[in-house]
Structure 1
Amino acid sequence: MSMQDVYDWIDANADECVRDLQRFVQQPSISAQNVGLRECATLVREMMHADGLPAEFHELDEGPPVVFGHLEAKKPSKTILCYSHYDVQPPEPLDEWTHGGPWSGEIVDGVMYGRGSTDNKSGVLAFNKAAKAFLQVRGEVPVNLKFLIEGEEEIGSPNLAAWAEKNEELLKADGMHCLDGSMETGTQVPDVSLGLKSVLFVELIARGAKMDVHSLNFPLVESPVWELVWALNTILDRDRKILVEGWEEGIWQLGPDDEQQLTDKAARVDLNALKEEWGISEFALGRDGVDAIRARTYEPTANIQGMIAGYTGPGRKTIIPNEARVRMDFRLIPNIQPADAIRKLKAHLEKHGFGHIEVQAFDGAEPPYKISVKEDISQAIIAAATEVYGELPVVNGVSAEGAILRHVWIPCVLTGFANPGANLHAPDENIRVDRYLQGIKYAAAIMEHFGRT
């Protein structure tokens, strides 16, 4: 069956779709700062009800509620779990925003600006408006739809796994996907990611004297800042290799399909445009082409997000800080399990004389995973992207998304539709209005094609 009737409804109701996204963006919902989360969840539920969709709160033991709805098809059909999130990243630095600031939703030259415009409020509404389009035009949806919209994705979903464990039956589905993120720079088609790089958040804490001490006493007092610097130097070398013993044990081995996906992507993605977007002349270690794509997709990482220590205000303060902290995120590719990684990191620090450094690890990280391009959900999304965008999407081996697969195994695919240069996690986050409307059509096409598989 042609999808033109559904696409026509989306075009005819573009103003409504855009107004709702503006309203959504104008509601702050910063999980890292616990700002506006319940208010935003209430707005999501209200908008879903206005669109004729079921939606109810599921309260977590801690944190903001999950908004969940189950819309059944009239005919026996498969079920898609549509995962998205209403929380956003902190907007700082505020002085680098233009166009009215992070909560304006202002549209300038066909581009909407505001935190969450791409990540992930346009994705939430793409699912909702696609479902509404089917209901308005055909009176039914082509597949059973389960909507799961959470409020803590940007801080690692610390409370979602426990809820998922208690609600396995509710979450059962034949496929799961998330509409989040932008197209690769230099392309005009979505990425389709067939797996998850898990993110392990770690904070290392070094302590010295019971208070800050005058720096003239440096020869006699331990320096927590230097202790962290020396410890960090044992974790990663200049070639970006993680030095923790056994870190890559059992690591995913690329097969012919994986290598072909890398080659295909390298041929289609404009890496020079990506360098220009980031303001760099070359990638780290001189990587380029397939090697650069392979490293970003399959290489484990040890990133330092920031260090917290001492005095950094105006003027000078001659102290030995009594405490220093460093925040890190480790990207774990398939077969590196978060619990094993934490254990190995602690053992590594102990072995190298840094056993006194406290390791605070967020142990709710989801295990990494990978699915086949031959899965029904993979094929449906690839077919939908080809229909809506006019050519095959860029297929990735793994990416970074997911929160519930520890307890309910569902083949899961991440794909996004926002324009390159959408500034995710940065000032002036944005989405082109035409890309947003096309993304709603993409969501609808995914529903239709999954119903056919």
Structure 2
Amino acid sequence: MTIEELHSRIDKDWSKHLQETRKLLRIPSVSMTGEGIQDTADFLEDLLADMGAKHEQFKAKKDSHPLVHGYVDAGSDITGIVYGMYDVQPVGNLDEWDYPPFGATIVKQKPFGEVLVNRGAYNSKAALAGSLLAAKSMLDADQLPINLHFLLEGEEELGGRSFPDFVIKNKSKLRKADGAFGLDFSQNRAGIPSVTLGLKGCVYFDLIAEGKSRGGPEAELHSSDAVIVESPVWRLVHAISTMVDENQDPAIDGLSDDVIPPSKTDVELAEKLAGSINEEDYMKELGVKRFKIEGTKEEIIKKYLFEPSVNIDGLSAGFEEDGTKTVLPPSAKAKIDIRIVPNMTIKGTHAKVMAHLKKRGFTDIRVRNYEDYPWSKTNPDASVSKACVEAMRYHGYEPDVWPTTAGSAPFYVFDQVLGIPWGYTGLGFGGKAHSPNEFCTVKGMKDYEKSVATIFFKFKEVAGGN
């Protein structure tokens, strides 16, 4: 059976696949609250069982969200790992949604045609379902070209341990795989797909200032007392203001000391990317009017890809409702993430933050750490990389190859734990991840399933399978 015949099989199965995907999307699976997590894991395990896969759930701790693992033996001498995430962010303010956030509503939206609106439509439950259902169509036709491990995690948004702990526990088995795939919708507004071969790491922590640590307020006071009582809110603002310069670039002492220059190949890929990126389209996709820096497209893309960043994710203190209430709060909290690049380390980054604050006298600022991701990188010449590029070309596209990107995901388990290459690609388009009215296009969902089939076939070809 040819690739085109398999694509026709997916066309035949599409109506059923769309309904299965909508069923999955209607289960909430909210990472932060745990709502629907177990139901979603069970649904996915049932899908794997229906494919004839060996299946199991794994939890790093009793209260962890389960990692769902499935293995399909296609009798091939080539094995791939498919990563997927089924957890999603909270829906936020319901009033900002035009449709129910877990209704899997299909509507027409200019200029995209039919779109499916749902939390997780774009990031990334719809693609996860498409990966499984495309593989099922191939199995039903007895045409799956490679053996597959599916690793489906429910803690990506939390940085949980079930996924990495499962990989470490099963290292001897999983490291025999020839490569790993992060399959997802990757087309931009112009329809060009991307192939991503690297990710920044993410170090996430809270900075907390408390009045009691400096003899200040232990409970809320009247704001008139601010003339004689120190505010922990101002204390925190002063501390975090030292962490960036006037351009909001990192100013933490020594933060970039371990950063290594990108390779010649990565620089060439970045420069090629700059030539294909339309700044206006990209700003429109982000929903912004300008970038914070000036420079050529080459300078902007290199900064985006190869430099660390310090970001405030949230600030909270005192009275935050509408209206007025004159108070001196007893504490304040900032949520911070630092995106790290080769060869920065998580341990080193934490140490430099602490040393930076200590040097400036902020020893009273308390730090609360979370699970972090190291950076991750794949060689552009690896078989997985080539398969991803060749698959997109088969569908008529010359993909944008990103040597790395500013986002983070736990793919370090592939290159740094298992020692195998990985690639991230797929047809399909969506938008508004983590935001109200998150969506993906219906046409893109079907195209995505076809691209999954193509990727598996191309991987067998370039990996030398028989």
User: By the TM > 0.5 criterion, same fold?
Assistant: yes
Equivalent residue for 2:398? 392
Equivalent residue for 1:281? 289
Contact 2:198 2:377 (8 Å CA) reproduced: yes
After superposing the two structures, state which structure 1 stretch, 331-340 or 311-320, moved more. Answer: 311-320
Equivalent residue for 1:296? 304
Equivalent residue for 1:219? 227
Label 1:163 to 1:136 Cα distance change in 2 as closer, same or farther (>3 A): closer
Distance 1:309 1:211 in 2: 12
Distance 2:323 2:440 in 1: 41
Q: Does 1:419 align with 2:429?
A: yes
Q: CA offsets, 1:276-333, max 9 Å, x none?
A: 3444332112345222222221221111111010012243222111010001111111
Label 1:54 to 1:127 Cα distance change in 2 as closer, same or farther (>3 A): farther
Equivalent residue for 1:189? 192
Distance 1:373 1:396 in 2: 9
Distance 2:325 2:248 in 1: 34
| Cα offset, 1:23, TM superposition | 0.7
Distance 1:355 1:74 in 2: 60
Distance 1:189 1:126 in 2: 19
Equivalent residue for 1:260? 268
CA-atom RMSD in angstroms: 1.7
Question: What percentage of residue pairs aligned between the two structures are identical?
Answer: 29
After superposing the two structures, state which structure 1 stretch, 52-61 or 218-227, moved more. Answer: 52-61
Q: Does 1:152 align with 2:152?
A: no
Distance 1:326 1:128 in 2: 39
Contact 2:185 2:448 (8 Å CA) reproduced: no
Equivalent residue for 2:373? 366
Q: CA offsets, 1:22-81, max 9 Å, x none?
A: 111110001012211001101111222234433221232141111101111223x22111
Distance 1:304 1:287 in 2: 24
Equivalent residue for 1:72? 73
Distance 1:309 1:333 in 2: 32
Q: Does 1:37 align with 2:37?
A: yes
Q: Does 1:448 align with 2:447?
A: no
Contact 1:184 1:269 (8 Å CA) reproduced: no
| Cα offset, 1:161, TM superposition | 2.6
* SS of corresponding position for 1:31: coil
| Cα offset, 1:140, TM superposition | 4.3
Contact 1:118 1:182 (8 Å CA) reproduced: no
- Structure 2, unaligned runs of 5 or more: 109-113, 212-216
After superposing the two structures, state which structure 1 stretch, 174-183 or 430-439, moved more. Answer: 174-183
Give the letter for the 2:383 counterpart: D
| Cα offset, 1:151, TM superposition | 0.3
* SS of corresponding position for 1:392: coil
Distance 1:379 1:361 in 2: 38
* SS of corresponding position for 1:249: coil
Equivalent residue for 2:214? none
Contact 1:189 1:385 (8 Å CA) reproduced: no
| Cα offset, 1:136, TM superposition | 1.7
After superposing the two structures, state which structure 1 stretch, 51-60 or 149-158, moved more. Answer: 51-60
Partner residue of 2:330 out of 313, 322, 332: 322
Equivalent residue for 2:83? 83
Equivalent residue for 1:228? 236
Q: CA offsets, 1:320-349, max 9 Å, x none?
A: 110100011111112111111011101110
Partner residue of 1:271 out of 274, 279, 294: 279
Contact 1:200 1:338 (8 Å CA) reproduced: yes
Distance 2:234 2:101 in 1: 37
Distance 1:366 1:314 in 2: 37
Give the letter for the 1:14 counterpart: W
Distance 1:305 1:2 in 2: 48
Give the letter for the 1:410 counterpart: I
Aligned residue runs from structure 1 range 378-389, under 5 A? 378-388=385-395
Equivalent residue for 1:433? 442
Give the letter for the 1:317 counterpart: K
Partner residue of 2:319 out of 311, 315, 318: 311
Equivalent residue for 2:12? 12
Give the letter for the 1:246 counterpart: G
* SS of corresponding position for 1:284: coil
Contact 1:181 1:424 (8 Å CA) reproduced: no
Q: CA offsets, 1:351-376, max 9 Å, x none?
A: 111111011122x3232122211001
